[in-house]
Amino acid sequence: MSDESREPFKRLFFALDCAPAQRKAIAQWRSTLQLRSGRPVPAENFHLTLKFLGSVDAAQIAAICDAVMSVHASTERLTVVLDRLDVWRRAGVLVLAPEQAPPGLLRLVYDLEQALLPFGLEETSKEFRPHLTLARDYRAPAPESPTAPEFFLRADHFTLFESRKGRYHALARWPLRDQ
């Protein structure tokens, strides 16, 4: 048994994953920005967080998975257009975000929050701001981009991830309806 599997608490979050080709395209576009600040997020970690759970007792994971089983039934396949480069100064991150979040994405996040209320995980009062993090510890103005960002994140499922030693590991995934 590895040390990770014996840990009583796990750092968990729900997210929309990026396809490998899309990760590569975003990483290539990011390289054109010639960043002089921050730590680039590894392309294999690109995702759009739906709900951060924080440290969760490993014994709760099965119950959490059961609780979100019904969420996919009310959600359809999603397309999120990442078309805005932004710096979130307080968080110190450079992000790609949608100019406008699609209603289906907002509904999915709301349904997840409702399903997770009985667990008392993380505060739900935080406003959901969809984004894909490009760099952490970013302390400069938004860089000039030679080409405007326009990435279509298409999701037919959402995933429960564990953050472990700087890597994200998929623990479970649920299909979205109407694939």
Residue range 120-137, pLDDT digits in tens: 876 555 789 999 999 999
How far, in Å, CA of 20 to CA of 46, rounded? 9
Lowest-confidence range among 48-57, 73-82, 130-139, 167-176? 73-82
- 20-69 pLDDT per residue, tens: 999 999 999 999 999 999 999 999 999 999 999 999 999 999 999 999 98
Domain residue spans in the chain? 9-175
Per the residue annotation, which of 72, 131, 157, 169 is the catalytic one? 131
* Residue among 32, 42, 25 nearest 134 (CA): 42
Return the higher-pLDDT residue of 62 and 72: 62
* Residue among 23, 149, 168, 36 nearest 97 (CA): 149
Vertex 155 angle, CA 59 and 86, to 5°: 95
Homologous superfamily of the 9-175 domain (CATH): Cyclic phosphodiesterase (3.90.1140.10)
DSSP string for residues in 68-108: TTTGGGG-B-EEEEE-EEEEETTTTEEEEE-SS--HHHHHH
Respond yes or no: is residue 157 known to be catalytic. no
Quote the mean pLDDT of the chain.
Answer: 90
CA-to-CA separations, 91 to 46, 71, 84, in angstroms, rounded: 17, 29, 17
Respond yes or no: is residue 169 known to be catalytic. no
Evaluate whether 149 touches 84 at the Cβ level (below 8 Å). Answer: yes
> Is the pLDDT reported for residue 7 higher than 90?
no
